């Protein structure tokens, strides 16, 4: 292969890389694993006879999908033994529409997590990335009819478990900041107004740092938890925090008093918070950092 041809093929991969990452992240739910899979796909791409590849996009999506399936099978035991609740690695989606142009909400990723690896792959490739059943059959090494059944089962499950929430950006930011300040100060009056009656609080510490082992359900229980934490750390204050969007949800990234980099993401419906997702596992937040171009809030918002 000539040097020029090699550069062209490398650039072809670079152009497709955002789409390949999007496939891998939705399949695996972790940023680091998705990046590893995409890099592995690139190494394999370099060894391919590119002249024989008619559909580069389809070929590379199939490659990434198979690598993800292999990874999921290998990680199955580790995921089952995961201490406490598992949440996907937070992904910054501010200004990332060209990278992840479709839903990457926590609700969707949790719904996908309950599918078998093949159902997950089939649903994502067909319903999200608009691959035909014939293309699915090649990627999953199944018949088109089998793929159709996989997609049908997965679609029903996802639609049943994935809440539909939409919030205007400004409203989402205002609610997120108000919730964060109320939670840190233990302001139950504000929390009562912000939290839905059936709100769900999920915290992921990965067994490495303090976090709730099971979801906390209901406004009263969530408020007791937050009030207790506020009292416990009343003599300490969060050093840095800033608003951002993680997985397309209004979120707060914060350096906590215990030295943990924490993310707090909110599902909001009809102006109230229906779910709170807190990621504290250091392995899941190590790829995040404060954006020097965004304002860092050191106290109550205006």
Ordered structural domains, the chain, with CATH: 3-94+111-161 (1.20.140.160), 169-285 (3.10.450.50)
Q: Give the chain as a DSSP string.
A: --HHHHHHHHHHHHHHHHHHHHHHHHHHS-HHHHHHHHHHHHHHHHTS-GGG-S-HHHHHHHHHHHHHHHHHHHHHHHHHT-SS---PPP-B-TT-TTT--S---HHHHHHHHTS-HHHHHHHIIIIIT---HHHHHHHHTS-HHHHHHHHHHHHHHHHHH-------HHHHHHHHHHHHHHHHHT-HHHHHHHEEEEEEEEEE-TTTS---SS-EESHHHHHHHHHHHHHHTTT---SEEEEEEETTEEEEEEE-TTS-EEEEEEEEETTEEEEEEEE--HHHHTT----TTSPPB-S---
Say what the pLDDT of residue 4 is.
Answer: 47
Does residue 19 carry a pLDDT above 80? yes
Higher pLDDT, 121 or 95: 121
pLDDT, tens only, 225-240? 999 999 887 776 666 8
Say what the pLDDT of residue 53 is.
Answer: 84
Give me the chain's average pLDDT, please.
86
Does residue 17 carry a pLDDT above 90? yes
Say what the pLDDT of residue 164 is.
Answer: 60
Higher pLDDT, 257 or 193: 193
CA distances (Å), 239 to each of 242, 255, 259, 298, in order? Answer: 11, 6, 9, 7
**Entry pTM:** 0.84
Does residue 255 carry a pLDDT above 80? yes
Does residue 295 carry a pLDDT above 60? no
Does residue 90 carry a pLDDT above 50? yes
Does residue 55 carry a pLDDT above 70? yes
Average pLDDT over residues 136-150: 93
Average pLDDT over residues 272-280: 96
Say what the pLDDT of residue 291 is.
Answer: 66
Say what the pLDDT of residue 239 is.
Answer: 67
- pLDDT category at 6 given cuts 50, 70, 90 is low
Rounded Cα distance, 195 and 192, in Å: 6
- Looking at 4-18, 29-43, 64-78, 262-276, which range is the least confident one? 4-18
């Amino acid at each position: 292969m000539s040097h020029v041809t090699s550069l062209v093929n490398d650039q072809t991969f670079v152009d497709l890389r955002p789409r390949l990452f999007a496939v891998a992240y939705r399949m695996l739910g972790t940023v680091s694993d998705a990046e590893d899979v995409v890099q592995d796909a690139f190494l394999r791409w370099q060894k391919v006879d590119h002249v024989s590849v008619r559909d580069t996009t389809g070929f590379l999506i199939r490659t990434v999908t198979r690598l993800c399936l292999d990874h999921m099978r290998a990680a199955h035991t580790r995921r089952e033994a995961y201490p406490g609740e598992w949440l996907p690695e937070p992904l910054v989606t501010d200004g990332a529409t060209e990278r992840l142009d479709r839903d990457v909400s926590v609700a969707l990723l949790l719904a996908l997590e309950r599918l078998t690896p093949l159902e997950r792959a089939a649903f994502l490739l067909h319903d999200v990335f608009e691959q035909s059943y014939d293309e699915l059959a090649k990627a999953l090494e199944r018949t088109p009819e089998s793929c159709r059944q996989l997609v049908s089962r997965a679609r029903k499950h996802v639609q049943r478990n994935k809440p539909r929430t939409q919030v205007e950006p400004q409203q989402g930011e205002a609610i997120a900041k108000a919730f964060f300040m109320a939670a840190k100060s233990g302001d139950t009056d504000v929390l009562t107004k912000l939290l839905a009656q059936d709100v769900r609080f999920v915290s992921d510490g990965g067994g490495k740092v303090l976090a709730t082992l099971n979801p906390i359900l209901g406004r009263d229980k969530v408020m007791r938890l937050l009030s207790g934490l506020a009292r416990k750390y009343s003599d300490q204050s969060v050093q840095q925090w800033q608003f951002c969007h993680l997985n397309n949800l209004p979120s707060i990234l914060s350096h906590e008093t215990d030295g943990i980099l924490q993310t707090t993401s909110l599902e909001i419906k009809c102006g109230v918070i229906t779910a709170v997702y807190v990621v504290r596992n250091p392995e899941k937040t190590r790829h995040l950092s404060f954006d020097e171009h965004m304002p860092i809030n050191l106290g109550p918002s205006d």
